[in-house]
Structure 1
Amino acid sequence: MKKSIAALLLVLLLLGAAGTYLGFNRADIQLWPFQKSMPFDGLSKAVSDSNHHLYVIDNAKKAIHKLDAAGVLQYTITSDVGKNGELYRFNDMVADDQGYLYTIRTLLDPYGINVKSEQIVRYKPDGQLDRVLFTQDYSDTQSRRYRLGSLRNVQVHDGMLIFFNDEVKKLTLYQMPTADTGGAEPKAVYSVALPENKYVSEADGYKPGGIYFTTRSGEIYRALANGGTELVYPLPGLDRTRRNFPESFHLDNEGRLIFIDFNNRMIARLDPQQPYVIESLVDKDKAKASGVELEFNATTSSVGQDSSLIIVESAQITIRHADGTLTPSMEEALYSRKDRAHAIAVWSVGVAGVLLLLWLIKIVYFDLLDRRVPLMVKQITILIPVIALSMILLSTVIYSSFSKKMEEETFSELVLLAKNGQNLIDGDKLESITSPLDYRNTVFQSFRKRINAVFDNNARDDNQGFYKAVYKLENGTIYRILEDDDGMHMFNPFLPTEENQQVAKEGKTMTGQWEDFSGEWRYAIAPIYNSSGTIVGIFETSKNLDGLLKHRQAVLQSIIRNIVLISIGLLIVLFVMTYVMLSSIRKLRNSVGEIAKGNWDTVVDIRTRDEVSDLGDSVNTMAARIRDYITKVENFSQAYYRFVPQQFLRFLNKDSILDVELGDQVEQHMSILSFNIRGFFNLSKRLTPEENFNFVNSFLKRFGPYVRKHEGFMNKYLGAGFIALFPNRTDDALMACVEMRRELDVYNMHRAKVRYVAIEIGIGLHKGPLRLGIIGEEQRLENNVISDGVNISNMLEKMTEPLGASILITDAVVQSLEQAGQFQYRNLGLIQAEGVQEPLHLFDVYQGDPETVRMLKERTKALFEQAVTYYQVGRFYDAREAFLMVLKQNRQDKAAQLYFYVCDEYFQQGTTTEWNGTLSVS
């Protein structure tokens, strides 16, 4: 038990350590140990530093990855969630020469549409947050922005951090030293007033006179040193339609303007010194010729410090070198060996934790509970999961119905709002918007005002988060006009789909859904008509199910919380009720346990006056009857153990005599002892039958205990002797023989005192295989041993007298002795017994003989065994002389006498041809 408790504590300690380790590294559990790379999903921007590291905004602006020159992932920065469910998104970034990363981090509402605030945040070279450098708040509804705030193009030049702030009417340049480690904030160092009715889209540059910005209406202006502006693109006479809109705008290292022309699906370059020459750096055909597929859909670009062009699409990064060559697209980041090793370590700890948990169950269930589970635990284990599962199933049905109803209501609401677009958007006025130059004109502003008035009127959480968009249909092409995303520009063509084509051609109101890296969306689109009834546009209302899912999660969490609380309440009630109900059963169990221990006088005292009380009375009655029965059984057991030894039953694998059947048998390897009184026939003739019984019983009572003392058992009584078996050590069997021989001297002394004649015994001991079993017939059974070893031991007992020995043993006994040195015996050589084909190698054990006999045999032992050796090799003269010397010292040595006469005969007359070195004894 102590070992089990120690093991339990150790397992709990290891489980705690494993859980703590996994808790600190829970983010790494998502990385499969054998996954070598991480595919990009939802790229929006990529920049490089002077060390050729690549920084990538991925996963719909939710994460930033740093890659080395070989594309191996160095670290990942993930966006946070605000206190009230707001979402942080990364919109821009730059790295300095020391490896510090500066990002524009935008805080959106929980639906990812309205901008709450923006920050310039600095991260250390290891990806850890350093500090927030600048914050721009948008709490004023008049300065509402959608998805993008006012901060633009964070840069690092000449040890200075630089970025722009779009302040609606002007563009302001901020800067601060990158080496600043204190609490200072960036300061405004330059401002430029925007042309009338122009709004900033993007900006680049850092020196007055070398600063350029694009507008939402599609122009590029240069900010002059005096605070004025100069139009750079498009100049009068430039071959440009109203659909050529510069996006993803940057300056290269030589001051040339680079932007993406989505209308012509190319990345263009414009030198301000030659404003009428627009150079195509990359287009679909050039890219395809280099083995790169560019879709020019949500594509961005940036300029590297080595004048390379980094082109980013949603799932790939392509680099155009200064010489015009394109690298194969990078579609994934490689995990470093360290990250993979760490992932393997985390998963290994997880697997080890599972194994430890299984080991914990094994220790508790098998070792501590001994495969027994308390009734209370069984009830709780069964009832609580059943009740909880029932509640979960019921809640699942209700929740599914609720979710389905919510989704249906969402679609119905979207359809209703989409159809209402006809009332919000005047089709004739929509037709008046003809180019990006109409951005934020009177008509545009009226559309925005009316849409906001409708959608901002309901402040309920489940009616917020709608995404609104107005599209214009022109010559079969759908163009973006107005939507809740300041990153989208007017007159960008919208990809045709089956749904929007049905709306444009047939005037149907359509619904649909899609899922991408930005979320799971439901939308409805409806036509917009002009005064003549012609479809001129499409109004869309859509909703990211993130908001709906959050509402569902709130409901689900409420359901789970209530289920947990109810389960805990039921657990407490069930525990108390079960404890009270089981108190009488525990009392009954304890009383029955005492009875089981043998305390038969135990009385069950239960006064609950119920079924358990009745059971207690029955147990008392049963205990009384068991007491009587056990008394009889014990008496019976003691009686039949006198007839059939317990050891005999044990070898037969029987619990009691009742299990014994005719033919039961088993083979064993044991020591077989044959014990008998010499001349008992003549002795018994002088006694009456009653005296014979009394003599035999008193004799066996005197010598039998030595067998049991040395772990033997009686197999059969043979008149004045017995056959005993010793299943264990041979040393024990031989010691029993020695002690019985010593006891004989004491026994004869007592007989001499009452003038009884002394008796002699013979003991034969052999070791070998035998078969124990039950013989007889159905109405009369008897245990018996069948073995040649029994015959041999009987034969040895009979040969003790002619050989002048009290104890004869075979070489099988000698070889199996563990401590042969503690016994005194001598080698008698090979003895040929009458009726036995093979000779026996016998030994005379004289350790228990009278002192004089023992001393004489011990003194002549070496000479006697040397004489036996002479005899066995046929040196009869030498043998005779040696035996003669033995007899001179011990005239009563019968074995030496027998050998002496045989040696003399063989020396005088010679041996027969059959002689084999044995001594015949009959």
Structure 2
Amino acid sequence: MRSRVLRILFIVLAVIASLVQNIVLSPGKLDNIVGIAAAAGGDTLVAQVEGGDLVFRMADKRGVYRQTMKIRQTSGGETSSVADFAVDDSARVYLIRDYADALTQEYLRQDLEVYDLSRWFSKRVAVHPLENEAGVRYKWLSLSSVAVLMGVNGDASELTRAAFDPADLAKKGTPASKGTRTYSIDPAEGIYRAVPASSQVAYATMSGKVYLAAEGAAATEIYPARELRELMYPMFIAPYDGEYVLIGEQESGDISLLNLADGSTSVLQGGSERFTGVSNYAPSDILTASVRDGENYTAVVRNNSTGFYELIVSEAGSYSVVGRLTSGLLFKVLSMLGGTALYFVGLLLLYAFAVAVASQVRGSRTILLKLAFSALPLLAVALVLFGVFSYNAYSDSISGSFQKQVEDEGNLLTALFGTESFNEIEYPYDYTTEGYRYLDQQMRTRAVYTRTAYYEGGRLYTGVDRDLPCFYPFELVLNSEEIRMHREAAFTGETQTGEISDRMGRRVICVTPIGGVEGDTVYLLETSIPSANMDRYTGAYLRNYIIIAAVFLLVIGALLLVVFMRVLGPLVRIKDGLEEFSEGNRRIRLESDTRDELSDIARVFNKMAGDIDVQLYNLRGVSDTYFRFVPQRIFRLLGKDNLGDLQPGSHVQGDYNVLCVNLWLSSDKMPLRAEQELINRFFNIINEISDQYDATLVVDSVNLCSLKVICPKDGEDGVSIALAALAQIDGHNASAALHSRLDVTFLLHRAELYYGICGDEQRYIPAMISQGLEAMTQRLPLIRQLSSRLVVTQDAYATLDSERYYNRFIGFLGDRGQQSRGLYDFYDGSSPEIIRLINDTRLTFDKAMQLYQQKRYYDAKNLFAVVLRENQYDNVARHYIFQCEKKL
């Protein structure tokens, strides 16, 4: 019966774990996109980077995929990246794959690989090396009745086009070539994207132009072929037929047919014209596209509200939006079954191991074996846990070292280049200038990967980049984390470091902001190092630790056996005395003729037997009263069960959301009795609501006017407690006399704190230590000047679901710098009329705050004045008007 129940329990746990893995934690958001390829029937092949894998999924126009495959990015000291790929009607994927050294990113080789997504196993069907004597590196792949590979030679002076039969590529062995053509191109312009056009090749340059290349002749510019007055470079280019190519213009957003003969364009769809049935997007939102023909294509757009990407799928002119990828029903069922089976087997093996150890401990006839089988597994677990913690600490240290290295490289390049170098290359038609060539040359010679970006007019644009044209929208990197870091660096003016995974693999990157000369542009310098350099160190550390731990376990195991054998003899007498005491003989006393710890055990037992009745009596008395003075939630916060477990040093330490509550007493003198009642009312409100949320209330002053509430469970608890307290305070103030009203300020801040028991053996005192929280508390009078009753710092704001509340950004605490904190005003507790007025003026207020942060005080003052005219109760706007006047 018991084994049956356990099997059922294991099955349930395995099903739950599989559900969490395949549904809850299953990736579906469109991010870290390597590329897309439009397939037949409205399907799209999407390639993404997930962890250390390149994941390909064939999804329909609803975002449901039934075919998928994974390719390791880093293996055997090599890191692979995808240059281009295409998919045919039989779900075969043709992939140009570049290989580079995992540590240095030095280019090694290039392969054309063919995969069959319809297979269950062994999806790769053929690999063709693309080595050639001319040093051509292929970058683009076009698939129709033939597979066309296009690439450039080392100095980018020639474009090579090679054609193959797709059926030959899907077979092992060397495929037969269907012809190779070579075209002369302008190396100064570079190539961003090339497409075949009959016997010619049309290509978009790195400076945003379109050229037509023919054999035996110089490449000619066909678009725009005139002096640029606005940014009209193509966001994407795709083959259409022998006489036309399809382009998407950046400025207008128009999707147009470009006539290769005369360079004329005809608009297929206007840039501002919304897609039919898709009200959120227009062609001007397209970042990149994969086109089969004029009515069948897939485009990538960015959802500005979520920060992730979405697909616009056109099938015969019918449009649909794909916001996330989900597996098909059969795929989900199979994944669920496979995951459940693996988890079930794992639980069975773990249970079998535990049963084997327990049976040896219980069934052995000697204590020696019991101790050995209980101590050695625990020692092994301790070594594993210690190894995990030490490995994480070492990994963090190595990561910090490499982050410092890329940051130093960024600072070095910043000092080397300066803003003047970047000003020379701000627009695409300046791509061929001396400034661009100088920067490009310098960056390519660095030991780290380097590129630049611009932040101008609230948008990010590409700068010097070996893969992307200058001044294209930076969203082309198709990586939300990288975009976030660049925006954060531009907005805060501070260097941002971190680790990301993208088409080049896992990298430690640093984004260094460089101020623009005009003041409206921020130049951003990105430097990065492959994470494989860190893995080299951490892998060696892990191998050494495993060897040392195994030797240590063997030595300690042998020593423990010797010690256990010496201890077992006197334990028999102690066992007999304990058995008699347990049977009710309270007069039993133990005798010992040794002078070691066992004699101490006998002495302690004898003392305990004499005092046990007194202790029981005292404990009964204490248990009736101590909860009145020390609430149980303090025990739970400290991880203790009762008061007796507390001792100096019992503590918790970590990052917590702490609600600081301050009662401001009137300057008018009031009777002490009335003041006591007012303070008591204030304390009762905060204490009662804190109890409801199982939060820990800490008294910060002897007069109870300053309280702190530690919210250990959920970051949202602090906001909920404050709003509930404000509701009760408003109810009290509505019926109270003016001098008896509660004037309370709430500040929610997230900081590292130490909360525990201090003192000595005579007296225990709960204490809370937090330098960050103390600094914020000291500045509560300054926060009160903003007249906001509930203020949340940016540290706590990041842990909240801010969409649930009415809130707005109200600036920084003090002068903006490393010690400043962004503040957010949560005004849910205000009256409906005040909430309406604040919401009505929200856009004007936010714009005024932006101008204030840019030190445009005159413009900010005028906008704050507009806010105050529409909402005379907005004391925050009034405060900033005075601040602007001081600044001016």
Q: Normalising to structure 2: TM-score of the pair? A: 0.51
The answer to whether 1:375 aligns with 2:368 is yes
* Aligned twin of 2:751: none
* Aligned pairs for 1:51-62 within 5 A: 53-59=43-49, 62=54
Rate the CA distance shift 1:414–1:549 in 2: closer, same or farther, 3 A.
closer
SS at match of 1:564: helix
* Aligned twin of 2:309: 315
Deviations 1:713-745 (A, max 9, x none): xxxxxxxxxxxxxxxxxxxxxxxxxxxxxxxxx
SS at match of 1:445: helix
* Aligned pairs for 1:606-625 within 5 A: none
* Aligned twin of 2:147: 161
- In 2, are the aligned partners of 1:365 and 1:372 still within 8 Å (CA)? no
Give me the whole-angstrom Cα distance separating, in 1, the residues matched to 2:68 and 2:35. Answer: 15
Give me the whole-angstrom Cα distance separating, in 1, the residues matched to 2:472 and 2:49. Answer: 23
Rate the CA distance shift 1:111–1:219 in 2: closer, same or farther, 3 A.
farther
For 1:42, which of 19, 32, 41 is the aligned residue? 32
Give me the whole-angstrom Cα distance separating, in 1, the residues matched to 2:489 and 2:29. Answer: 36
* Aligned twin of 1:132: 127
The answer to whether 1:201 aligns with 2:192 is yes
Give me the whole-angstrom Cα distance separating, in 2, the residues matched to 1:438 and 1:517. Answer: 31
The answer to whether 1:488 aligns with 2:483 is no
Q: What are structure 2's unaligned runs of at least 5 residues?
A: 302-307, 476-481, 573-593, 596-888
The answer to whether 1:63 aligns with 2:55 is yes
- In 1, are the aligned partners of 2:85 and 2:95 still within 8 Å (CA)? yes
The answer to whether 1:443 aligns with 2:435 is yes
Give me the whole-angstrom Cα distance separating, in 1, the residues matched to 2:379 and 2:530. Answer: 33
* Aligned twin of 2:288: 300
- In 1, are the aligned partners of 2:277 and 2:319 still within 8 Å (CA)? no
Q: Which amino acid aligns with 1:163?
A: L
Give me the whole-angstrom Cα distance separating, in 2, the residues matched to 1:87 and 1:541. Answer: 20
Give me the whole-angstrom Cα distance separating, in 2, the residues matched to 1:166 and 1:424. Answer: 31
* Aligned twin of 1:173: 161
* Aligned twin of 1:511: 495
Rate the CA distance shift 1:372–1:57 in 2: closer, same or farther, 3 A.
farther
* Aligned twin of 2:211: 221
Give me the whole-angstrom Cα distance separating, in 2, the residues matched to 1:341 and 1:222. Answer: 50
Give me the whole-angstrom Cα distance separating, in 2, the residues matched to 1:152 and 1:117. Answer: 13
Rate the CA distance shift 1:575–1:162 in 2: closer, same or farther, 3 A.
farther
Bigger-Rg structure (1/2): 1
* Aligned pairs for 1:598-747 within 5 A: none
SS at match of 2:555: helix
- In 1, are the aligned partners of 2:310 and 2:321 still within 8 Å (CA)? no
Deviations 1:127-186 (A, max 9, x none): 510111233489x9xx8xxxxx9423323333x322112221111111222222351146
Give me the whole-angstrom Cα distance separating, in 1, the residues matched to 2:563 and 2:286. Answer: 66
* Aligned twin of 1:527: 514
* Aligned twin of 2:322: 329
- In 2, are the aligned partners of 1:63 and 1:90 still within 8 Å (CA)? no
Deviation at 1:353, TM superposition (A): 4.8
SS at match of 1:510: coil
- In 1, are the aligned partners of 2:380 and 2:553 still within 8 Å (CA)? no
Q: Which amino acid aligns with 2:512?
A: I
* Aligned twin of 2:95: 103
For 2:382, which of 356, 368, 389 is the aligned residue? 389
Rate the CA distance shift 1:93–1:575 in 2: closer, same or farther, 3 A.
same
* Aligned twin of 2:225: 235
Give me the whole-angstrom Cα distance separating, in 2, the residues matched to 1:171 and 1:312. Answer: 28
Q: Give the fraction of aligned pairs with identical amino acids, expressed as a percent.
A: 12
Deviation at 1:296, TM superposition (A): 6.8
SS at match of 1:236: coil
Deviations 1:65-86 (A, max 9, x none): 1235775433322122444443
Q: Which amino acid aligns with 2:142?
A: Q
Deviation at 1:234, TM superposition (A): 0.9
For 1:432, which of 392, 417, 424 is the aligned residue? 424
Give me the whole-angstrom Cα distance separating, in 1, the residues matched to 2:261 and 2:31. Answer: 39
Deviation at 1:488, TM superposition (A): 1.7
- In 2, are the aligned partners of 1:255 and 1:271 still within 8 Å (CA)? yes
- In 1, are the aligned partners of 2:387 and 2:545 still within 8 Å (CA)? no
Q: What are structure 1's unaligned runs of at least 5 residues?
A: 1-6, 144-148, 457-465, 589-609, 612-922
Rate the CA distance shift 1:270–1:44 in 2: closer, same or farther, 3 A.
farther
Rate the CA distance shift 1:115–1:439 in 2: closer, same or farther, 3 A.
farther
Deviates more, 1:220-229 or 1:572-581: 572-581
SS at match of 2:351: helix
Rate the CA distance shift 1:219–1:316 in 2: closer, same or farther, 3 A.
same
Deviation at 1:122, TM superposition (A): 0.8
Q: Which amino acid aligns with 2:549?
A: V
Q: Which amino acid aligns with 2:527?
A: S
Deviations 1:281-315 (A, max 9, x none): 36465149723447977822111368412112453
SS at match of 2:553: helix
* Aligned twin of 1:648: none
Deviation at 1:242, TM superposition (A): 5.9
Q: Which amino acid aligns with 1:347?
A: T
Deviations 1:349-378 (A, max 9, x none): 532552465367557745996487852352
Deviation at 1:121, TM superposition (A): 0.5
SS at match of 2:22: coil
The answer to whether 1:347 aligns with 2:378 is no
Deviation at 1:259, TM superposition (A): 3.0
* Aligned twin of 1:890: none
Give me the whole-angstrom Cα distance separating, in 2, the residues matched to 1:413 and 1:501. Answer: 22
Deviations 1:230-282 (A, max 9, x none): 32211236xx4463332332123575322343444554443436634352636
Rate the CA distance shift 1:176–1:520 in 2: closer, same or farther, 3 A.
closer
* Aligned twin of 2:658: none
SS at match of 1:443: helix
SS at match of 2:72: coil
SS at match of 2:369: helix
SS at match of 2:130: strand
Give me the whole-angstrom Cα distance separating, in 2, the residues matched to 1:516 and 1:502. Answer: 15
Rate the CA distance shift 1:186–1:42 in 2: closer, same or farther, 3 A.
farther
* Aligned twin of 2:673: none
Deviation at 1:55, TM superposition (A): 1.8
Deviation at 1:340, TM superposition (A): 1.3
Give me the whole-angstrom Cα distance separating, in 1, the residues matched to 2:165 and 2:391. Answer: 59
Deviation at 1:390, TM superposition (A): 7.0
Rate the CA distance shift 1:200–1:386 in 2: closer, same or farther, 3 A.
same
Deviations 1:525-561 (A, max 9, x none): 243688xx99986352433683465256336524642
Deviations 1:57-116 (A, max 9, x none): 123781111235775433322122444443223342222344422112222443696544
Rate the CA distance shift 1:493–1:205 in 2: closer, same or farther, 3 A.
closer
Give me the whole-angstrom Cα distance separating, in 1, the residues matched to 2:489 and 2:471. Answer: 19
Rate the CA distance shift 1:577–1:345 in 2: closer, same or farther, 3 A.
same
Query: Once superposed, what is the RMSD of the aligned Cα atoms?
Result: 5.2
Q: Normalising to structure 1: TM-score of the pair? A: 0.50
SS at match of 2:320: coil
Give me the whole-angstrom Cα distance separating, in 2, the residues matched to 1:391 and 1:321. Answer: 55
Rate the CA distance shift 1:296–1:469 in 2: closer, same or farther, 3 A.
farther
- In 2, are the aligned partners of 1:523 and 1:543 still within 8 Å (CA)? yes
How many residues align structurally? 547
The answer to whether 1:469 aligns with 2:451 is yes
